[in-house]
Chain A
Amino acid sequence: MTEPLVCASNLTKHFGDFVAVDSVDFSVKPGEVFGFLGPNGAGKSSTMKMIGAVSPVTDGALTVFGLDPDQDGPAIRGRLGVVPQDNLLDTELTVFENLFIYGRYFDLPKPVIRDRIDELLDFAQLGERRNDLVEPLSGGMKRRLTIARALINQPDLMLLDEPTTGLDPQARHALWDRLYRLKQQGVTLIITTHYMDEAEQLCDRLVVMDKGKIVAEGSPQELIERYATREVVELRFPIGETPGEDKLDGLAKRIEALPDRTLLYTDNAEQSLLDLNERPLPIESTIVRRATLEDVFLRLTGRTLVD
């Protein structure tokens, strides 16, 4: 019953000599939102393309819906909804035609496609742009259209590659709302992202990828508990006056000195701040926040998540 939708073991992808995905294992259960978190070049998109049955597997085993992407590519793709990183909309066609032709690629009957387009334009809040060309649409609209288009075949599994990269905050939240609705309808989602907040908002379970390998796996909360503390105190010092770690010793469970700030990982930020007050340090500003996946990533890879 809970047969995994996607199952990978020792999954590997080479491009020439370059190892993009290095022997990873993971499985995705029906109905969950599964995330690949990592910086650019971590191998997230390559993994997605293999799941999407568009990029051949170099080594290892991969099944999608219990099928082999090498043998049953068209059958797998027929049940997938794919939202690629760059929207790849057909700029020579209108909003309606993009949806229509895409539906035709799935060999769906025309009346069925027409009915679904009405629903999908509603879902994507693009009803008024139905007959407009795609090119002048805003980034958020194009993204919503791409998602709507991926739903034309009523997929069992959606693959979303960095769904909100490059969008403004409002558009991101609108998109998260749409994705959340899909989840509630029982659609399984696999997303890649390099945004911590996105992974925390959307994912039931995620893997952290770095340099082609999976370095951690769990729910966002589990990962934070395992690799970070409940709270984080961020300290900023004047340039050149960052104190040595010995001066901060004993203030927190773990201390991380970054180029621009120093992070204190603690389970009790209040106590840490009190202790801090007793030491004569030239602190410029103090921020207390809860730990995020960013901290997990920092802990696992020793660097911040920048591209």
Chain B
Amino acid sequence: MLVVERHARVYRRTWRGSVISTFANPILYLLAMGLGLGSLVDQGGGSVQLDHDYLTWLAPGLLAAATMMTATGESLYPVMAGMKWNKYYSDALSTPVSTHDLVVGHFGWLTLRVLFTAVVFSGVMVTFGSIGFSRVLLVIPPSVLAGLAFAGPVTAYAARLEKETGLSAVFRFVITPLFLFSGIFFPIEQLPDWMEPIAYATPLWHGVELTRASALGIETALHPAVHIAVMVAFLAVGAAIANRLFHKRLVV
């Protein structure tokens, strides 16, 4: 908990930049993709039809993607900073704080950050009329879980990263492809058949499915428990590995 407090204090000084992007990103995406592109999509004509207007259908997927982005960023740069840049991890370890406390603090703070992103994003969704007040609270838990599912493995990855170039590589080679092909912009049934199983294996698709189902009140592709289990597994395994790697790297 004490480590969470440290992160909160740092955030108190750097919040302006991230708050603006937390608000601006959903507005920009919903305007461009939801309303702009959506107006074309809704006129239809294609071989596949959605049961909802595009904005309504798209927004929950973007919400899950937003928590993924926040969680990934917050699991990369602050961890790298703690390990290498300003080394506050080693610093904290000279006090009674343990590496386990550092890991717990990291995930604790991350949960708050992701929750904040989810709340802001769903607030913007309400403003755009893509979701009603009755359902808005339902989309927060699945989207937060989607973010945490990324936080686990990404933290473990960052814990042993030596070079800065490895940070942007995550966005370039993992996050961007997932963002495009995890059922956010179109149902994954539209993908070539061989690509569909890949989507099943990534936490984002599960997060998108669950968040969208909660928003629209529709059935999920798989049993909801399966979606939840996959994401929890990513979080739990990632966090456990991160816990070991923190100890291995910092206690020498």
Contacts and interface: CB of A to CB of B under 8 A. Distances in A.
Contact of A101 (B5, B86, B94, B252): B5
B34 to A, nearest CB: 36
A78 B198 CA distance: 49
A105 B2 contact: yes
A91 B3 CA distance: 16
Nearest to B90: A88
A65 to B, nearest CB: 13
B87 A105 contact: no
B2 A104 contact: yes
B5 A92 contact: no
A92 B91 contact: no
B96 A105 contact: yes
Contacts of B3: 105
Contacts of A231: none
A106 B94 contact: no
Contacts of A55: 251-252
B90 A74 contact: no
Given A88-B90, A101-B6, A101-B9, A77 B251 contact: no
Given A78-B96, A80-B94, A15 B6 contact: no
Nearest to A100: B9
Given A54-B251, A56-B251, A104-B2, A93 B94 contact: no
Nearest to B9: A97
Contact of B97 (A56, A97, A105): A105
Nearest to A102: B95
Interface residues on B, range: 20 to 34
A86 B91 CA distance: 10
A122 interface: no
A93 B10 contact: yes
B98 to A, nearest CB: 7
Contact of A92 (B2, B10, B90, B94): B10
A59 to B, nearest CB: 15
A104 B252 contact: no
Contacts of B252: 15, 55-56
B137 interface: no
For B3, B96, B251, the residue with the greatest tally of chain A CB atoms inside 10 Å of its CB is B96
Contact of A104 (B5, B13, B87, B88): B5
Nearest to B6: A101
A75 B96 CA distance: 7
A39 interface: no
Nearest to B101: A105
A7 to B, nearest CB: 21
Interface string A80-103: 101010101111110001001110
Contact of B86 (A56, A92, A107): A92
Contacts of A74: 96-98
A52 interface: yes
Interface of B: 2-3, 5-6, 9-10, 13-14, 81, 86-88, 90-98, 251-252
20 contacts: A15-B252, A54-B251, A55-B251, A55-B252, A74-B98, A75-B96, A82-B94, A84-B90, A84-B91, A88-B87, A89-B86, A90-B86, A92-B81, A92-B88, A100-B9, A101-B2, A101-B9, A105-B97, A107-B2, A153-B95
Interface of A: 15, 52, 54-56, 73-75, 77-78, 80, 82, 84, 86, 88-93, 97, 100-102, 104-107, 153
Given A78-B96, A90-B6, A90-B88, 6 more contacts: A15-B252, A84-B91, A92-B10, A92-B86, A100-B9, A104-B5
A-B CB proximity, top 10 nearest: A105-B95, A74-B96, A82-B94, A88-B91, A92-B10, A78-B96, A91-B86, A101-B6, A104-B2, A90-B88
